[in-house]
Structure 1
Amino acid sequence: MTLASDDKVLILFRHAKAEQVYGKADHERSLTARGRRDAMAAGAWLHEHELGPELVLCSTAVRTRQTWEAAVDGGACGETVEFDDSIYSGGAQTVLQTVREAAGEAQVVMVVGHNPTMAALASGLSEGDGSSAAHECLAAGFPTSSIAVLRYAGPWSGLDIGTAALERCHVSRG
């Protein structure tokens, strides 16, 4: 992907399908076999579309860490991966602030996180701007293994509600 010097890309990746085990702490839930296949398919899609983030901000939850690992097995790449509990425990505003503070000079940043935060952030940042097909995909529910790709021009510190365009939305199935 070719970017102008002030262009930024934010990729929001909802974790893959996780187990539902009574009594198991939410933070400790693992991916199902389907979840691993879907995450690998997401990695292949990211690779195919040349969406290699310089920085991956990943929730500390087991299922998000496993989602990123399986995506890498499928072909995804990320130069630096940071695990941040605020992506697990925070809402859209908290995750947005984490991106603003952590992104630095990176042009392409990915967040591997949870819903409803990922869908709310994608919707809020773009406020209807961008691809109508991508917005239809987002409005359809942003299920597990969904990816939203947003484009933004300017410093990360200025990223805010209504400042980005939703370019792509993809639901990965393996």
Structure 2
Amino acid sequence: MSVAEPRRIVLFRHAKADWPQVSDHERPLAERGRKDAPVAGRKLADTHIPFDLALCSTANRTRETWKLAVHELPHRPKTVYEERIYEASPGELIAVLNETPDDVRNVILIGHNPGVQGVTEVLSGAAEGDAGERMGRRGFPTAAFAVLTFDGSWKALEPGTATLSDYWAPSE
């Protein structure tokens, strides 16, 4: 990897979940979530980011979201299902990202709010174009994602070191 090439993180919130009588961890996607996840996958493909690694929460709704979205990508990255992403704070998510091997350039993390939005805000020291304004208007609804870029090693990723370069959310 060239020093001039920035690393990219995509923070992807799971699609809309249902509320059946199961534990929170086992909640499945709602019908709308099953429709939005492939749309988000196509939008992820439009970013032309060749993901090297996917870090996905072990919750049912995140696994379902990823399985529906990844089919839309031209290349399927290695996927690691990580228990620590479920109910993680921004600091805990940064700690997970800090463990990424340095030969990995582009990571997608599939998780939950408020952690996904929080870590996006904490890591973003700047924003390109209107990405920050769009995220500020929309918040971080289900199936939304943010693209962050940064330079340096994964161990050096900390608050304010990344740039919010893109943001997408499904229309409601």
Provide the TM-score with structure 1 as the length reference.
0.91
1:132, distance to aligned residue in structure 2 (A) = 4.5
Matched residue type, 1:115: N
Q: Name the SS of the counterpart of 1:46 in structure 2.
A: helix
Alpha-carbon displacement from aligned partner over 1:52-104 (angstroms, at most 9, x marks no partner):
31000000000000000010233364321000010003211111100111343
Question: Cα RMSD over matched residues?
Answer: 1.9
The percentage of counterpart residues that share the same residue type is 35
Indicate if the aligned counterparts of 2:9 and 2:106 stay in contact, CA closer than 8 A. yes
Structure 2 residue runs of 5 or longer lacking an equivalent are: none
1:130, distance to aligned residue in structure 2 (A) = 1.6
Moved more, 71-80 or 85-94: 71-80
Moved more, 99-108 or 145-154: 99-108
Provide the TM-score with structure 2 as the length reference.
0.92
Matched residue type, 2:157: L
Q: Name the SS of the counterpart of 1:68 in structure 2.
A: helix
Which residue, out of 51, 54, 57, partners 1:53?
Answer: 51
**How many pairs are equivalent?**
171
Q: Residue 31 of structure 1 aligns with which residue?
A: 29
Indicate if the aligned counterparts of 1:27 and 1:61 stay in contact, CA closer than 8 A. yes
Matched residue type, 1:97: A
Alpha-carbon displacement from aligned partner over 1:97-154 (angstroms, at most 9, x marks no partner):
0011134311101100000101111111013x02242112222211000010000000
Indicate if the aligned counterparts of 2:13 and 2:116 stay in contact, CA closer than 8 A. yes
Indicate if the aligned counterparts of 2:86 and 2:111 stay in contact, CA closer than 8 A. yes
Matched residue type, 2:123: L
Matched residue type, 1:7: P
1:173 and 1:51 map into 2 onto residues whose CA distance is 22
Q: Residue 160 of structure 1 aligns with which residue?
A: 158
